[in-house]
Structure 1
Amino acid sequence: MTSSPELDGKQLYQRLLRFVLPYWRIFLVSIISMALVAATEPAFPALLKPLLDGSFVKKDPGMMRLIPLLLIGLFILRGIATFTSSYAISWVANKVVMDLRCLMFGKLVALPTHYYDDNSSGVLMSKVTYDVSQVTNAATNVITIVVRDSLSIAGLLGWLLYLNWRLTLVALIVVPAIAFVIRSFSGRLRNMSRGAQQAMGHITHVLEETIECHKVVKIFGGQEYEARRFQEAANQVRRFNIKQAIAASATVPLVQLIAAIALAVIIYIATMQSASDQTTVGGFVSFITAMLMLLAPLKRLTGVSESLQRGLAAAESVFNLIDEEAETDKGTISLPRAQGALEFRDLGFTYGRSERMALNSISLAIRPGETVALVGQSGSGKTTLANLIPRFYTPTSGQILLDGYDIQTIRLADLRSNTALVSQDVVLFNDSVSANIAYGRQSGATEAEIVAAAEAAHAMEFIREMPEGIHTQIGENGVRLSGGQRQRLAIARAILKNAPVLILDEATSALDTESERHVQAALETLMQGRTTIVIAHRLSTIEKADRIVVLQKGHIAEIGSHSELLAKDGIYANLHRIQFSQEKPHET
């Protein structure tokens, strides 16, 4: 598994802004509107000087009529500019989030199977739903504050310098102290944000497991245990958020204290100047108003560090997923329709960093149209061998050949289009019956083709009884269907795909006798003319297989037909005797 090298804040931010670039026109409208809002900030204290000096001191009637009109016009302009800025920046922010989510989802469906083995689905869902939403703070909201408030501060400082440059210099002395406070807390805020996002991934993981396994939780009385797990996860999120709040909360009052000290000094000096007639009443009030108006943008600018660091920590999480290496497809050979000849040559496989070989020196040739059953105890390597055929994993050593071509050299899309899979863990989608049968590349199938596949899978007998037939919604993972019905829909999906290589992974192991009879009949239809790998626990279901391969601890222990292996009186015969002795009393 690879991930992106750790980026510093500047690199992360630059990369994030590249996602804003496609919408630069709307973004520019927002920036211009922000600049307009910022430009009106010093206009208000600037109007106070002629208002006070002209109306109250000099009693100028023209100024008395003009200033109120200018104030109304000023706030109308501010309102229009504020609305335009907020709408435009929100539009850009939501587009960036949507683009990132789509990019993350695109990467998720392209990631290799081992990535899902190493990462819980709850953590991945948290990245796509929670982490990416935090990115908007860094991508757009921060820019809003920085641009608008920086310009506001610049405008107000300009007015202050114009009114009284000596007093303004006193105000500027505090800038280095404020910068030091912000810098001191930034690193801690980012670390706390990163920890909070990881903790949120854990809370999503616990939540997802509890929802999916709610029946097990109830039947085994695991409510208190799961509640404790959730409370611990939620408490971890709370602790990170509190630490983050402490760092953020400490920044603002410290900055405000420094600013207040500077303001107190300025007011004292200004009153001294006023006493010596160095400033007018209007000038003094205008100066103090501008100084007070500086506090709000200054406060937002100092608080922006929290949003920025949270957004950068989220961006780090998002880009780590986006930068994950997708499934490698170095295949160049196009194979539209295979004959179905499979060969395993000295095949070996190890999971991750495990030292134990899941498969070791597997050599086996399967003819086109032949049915080969894989049997053996749990952990013998049956499912692992089947998972290597569609390249869910890459062999550690050896080769798998399809029609004489190493499957690593066949284009991945072509390899998988020639393979169909039906397992005991049926996966159905919260959609209609027809959409589940005609899934993926088969989505263009006609209704007649879908019905024909369902008929061949013995599924139409229960589909016809549904309220809307093949257009009936089946719920999440087919929750409204029985196990046998779900299995037959999976078989109908495989029939419609019409792939020359078929993998049946314990396809009837979890069914009752009646459902198994229907499913077995559907499987016999599906297997006709196809190279079939059958993984079976119940040996009675594979007695008609052309050959039976017995696996033991990753090795091939025996090969032969059902009768040959019984006559050999080896591992298979022993497994058969054990199962027969267990099933006979049950049948009686």
Structure 2
Amino acid sequence: MSDKIVPTGASTYLRLLKYVRRYWLAFVVSIFGLVLHSFAEVAFVDLLGYITDTVGTLTSAGAAETQPVAMPQTGMTAMFAEALLGDLLVEKTWLVIPFFLVVISVLRGVGYLIGSYGLAYVSNYLVHALRVDIFEKYLQLPFEFFDRSMSGHLVSVVTFNVQQVTQASTKALKTLLQQGSLVLGLMSYLFYVNWKLTLFFLAVMPFVALVVSVVSKRFRTISTRIQSAMGDVTHVTQEVVNGYQEVRMFGGMESERERIQLASQSNRRQNMKMALTEGISNPLVMLLVSLAFAGITSFMLSPAILETMSTGSFITFLVASGMLIKPIRQIT
């Protein structure tokens, strides 16, 4: 007797991607929207540094009314401002800063709308396609297959498993694309601001990857058990509903109560294991990242580092490194 082959997460995703190819245009557009949303997040951090440097320049100038003061030249916002608006004086930032605030907010909103709606479009069509294909497969399978299979499990595959697998895969894909692109954008920006400080985060990444690997395997195991337990619940319920007369005539109510108790308890236990695993893994990942963030903050306050960074660069580095904690936690 051959052992049952359990598909890995990668093989499952590859099989689902075959269905996604039918809706590749909506999928590509949704990716573009999610990346645009992440780009706007990074742009807002840079704009914050630009505002800080501008306020600092105005404060230190003292006699700004009679003495021309140049705009800040550090950061991507300063480069875009100079390219789009020319060599403006710092007194005219009343036009520059609100302009970029509005543009970034619009890009962020449009990107989120395109990304979320596009993935929802693909996800719902994916559920529809899988259900139709599985149902078509049921129509062609031999009698022996149905004789040795529990009807509740077969029904649960179409009504529950397809929905759960697709939603989980789509949610994971959305998180990977949106938060992954945000992590890449923030890391690139941190290298742009100060590459030496960024190495602190890279030092902790192997430990985070180890935790993610262990947790992912645990999640897959528990998810399989949850689907099996849900199939048992469906099977027992369907048998009682379809054969309620036989159950009452032959006094089978007590045995059916025990069966549904066992099946439902099994499903409850697996869900609690899932909740416990998630509750332990997320704080552990956040602790590792927070330790790296604390080390960076301590190192940044040294005089040698402060001399090489403007006030705006200092603030943006702190904000960007702090923003990394949430997407890293969500990716895990």
Q: Is this contact kept in 2: 1:274–1:284, CA < 8 A?
A: no
For residue 164 of structure 1, report the CA deviation from its aligned partner. Answer: 1.4
Residue of structure 1 aligned with 2:101, choices 68, 71, 88: 71
Deviation sequence 1:116-173 (CA, Å, 0-9, x none): 1111211101111111112224543322221222211111111111111111111111
Residue of structure 1 aligned with 2:224, choices 189, 194, 212: 194
For residue 222 of structure 1, report the CA deviation from its aligned partner. Answer: 4.5
Q: 1:215 to 1:298 in 2, by over 3 A?
A: same
Whole-angstrom CA distance in 2 between matches of 1:2 and 1:23: 37
Deviation sequence 1:527-565 (CA, Å, 0-9, x none): xxxxxxxxxxxxxxxxxxxxxxxxxxxxxxxxxxxxxxx
Whole-angstrom CA distance in 1 between matches of 2:2 and 2:140: 14
Show the counterpart of 1:92: 122
Show the counterpart of 1:81: 111
For residue 26 of structure 1, report the CA deviation from its aligned partner. Answer: 0.8
Whole-angstrom CA distance in 1 between matches of 2:57 and 2:254: 76
Show the counterpart of 2:34: 34
In structure 2, runs of 5+ residues without a counterpart are 60-89
Whole-angstrom CA distance in 2 between matches of 1:4 and 1:63: 67
Q: Is this contact kept in 2: 1:196–1:240, CA < 8 A?
A: yes
Residue of structure 2 aligned with 1:119, choices 133, 140, 149: 149
For residue 221 of structure 1, report the CA deviation from its aligned partner. Answer: 5.4
The DSSP-based 3-state class of the residue aligned with 2:19 is coil
For residue 57 of structure 1, report the CA deviation from its aligned partner. Answer: 3.9
**% identity of equivalent residues:** 35
Show the counterpart of 2:259: 229
Residue of structure 2 aligned with 1:183, choices 208, 213, 230: 213
Q: TM-score, normalised by structure 2?
A: 0.85
- Structure with a larger share of its residues in strand: 1
For residue 24 of structure 1, report the CA deviation from its aligned partner. Answer: 0.4
The DSSP-based 3-state class of the residue aligned with 1:160 is helix
Listed as ranges, the matches of 1:395-406 within 5 Å are none
The DSSP-based 3-state class of the residue aligned with 1:241 is helix
In structure 1, runs of 5+ residues without a counterpart are 303-588
Paired residues, what number? 302
Q: TM-score, normalised by structure 1?
A: 0.49
Whole-angstrom CA distance in 2 between matches of 1:95 and 1:206: 30
Whole-angstrom CA distance in 1 between matches of 2:250 and 2:285: 55
Deviation sequence 1:408-430 (CA, Å, 0-9, x none): xxxxxxxxxxxxxxxxxxxxxxx
Greater CA deviation, 263-272 or 57-66? 57-66
Whole-angstrom CA distance in 1 between matches of 2:20 and 2:303: 50
Q: In structure 2, what residue type is equivalent to 1:51?
A: I
The DSSP-based 3-state class of the residue aligned with 1:288 is helix
Show the counterpart of 2:18: 18
Which structure is richer in relative contact order (CA contacts within 8 A, separation 6 or more)?
A: 2
Show the counterpart of 1:50: 50
* 2:298 is the alignment partner of 1:264: no
Q: 1:133 to 1:2 in 2, by over 3 A?
A: farther
Q: In structure 1, what residue type is equivalent to 2:141?
A: L
Show the counterpart of 2:139: 109
Listed as ranges, the matches of 1:166-315 within 5 Å are 166-219=196-249, 222-273=252-303, 276-302=306-332
Aligned-residue Cα RMSD (Å) equals 2.2
Whole-angstrom CA distance in 1 between matches of 2:148 and 2:324: 51
Whole-angstrom CA distance in 1 between matches of 2:202 and 2:2: 48
Whole-angstrom CA distance in 2 between matches of 1:118 and 1:284: 67
For residue 192 of structure 1, report the CA deviation from its aligned partner. Answer: 1.1
Listed as ranges, the matches of 1:465-504 within 5 Å are none
Whole-angstrom CA distance in 2 between matches of 1:181 and 1:256: 11
Q: In structure 2, what residue type is equivalent to 1:300?
A: Q
For residue 213 of structure 1, report the CA deviation from its aligned partner. Answer: 2.2
Q: 1:57 to 1:225 in 2, by over 3 A?
A: farther
Q: Is this contact kept in 2: 1:20–1:139, CA < 8 A?
A: no
The DSSP-based 3-state class of the residue aligned with 2:126 is helix
Whole-angstrom CA distance in 2 between matches of 1:273 and 1:45: 24
Whole-angstrom CA distance in 1 between matches of 2:248 and 2:31: 55
For residue 243 of structure 1, report the CA deviation from its aligned partner. Answer: 1.5
Deviation sequence 1:172-224 (CA, Å, 0-9, x none): 11111100111122222211111111111100001111111223444555544
Whole-angstrom CA distance in 2 between matches of 1:4 and 1:108: 20
4+ residue segments displaced more than 6 Å: 1-4
Whole-angstrom CA distance in 1 between matches of 2:95 and 2:156: 59
Deviation sequence 1:367-395 (CA, Å, 0-9, x none): xxxxxxxxxxxxxxxxxxxxxxxxxxxxx
Decide which structure has the larger Cα Rg and report it.
1
Show the counterpart of 1:130: 160
- Structure with a larger share of its residues in helix: 2
Q: Is this contact kept in 2: 1:55–1:61, CA < 8 A?
A: no
Whole-angstrom CA distance in 2 between matches of 1:271 and 1:50: 20
For residue 3 of structure 1, report the CA deviation from its aligned partner. Answer: 11
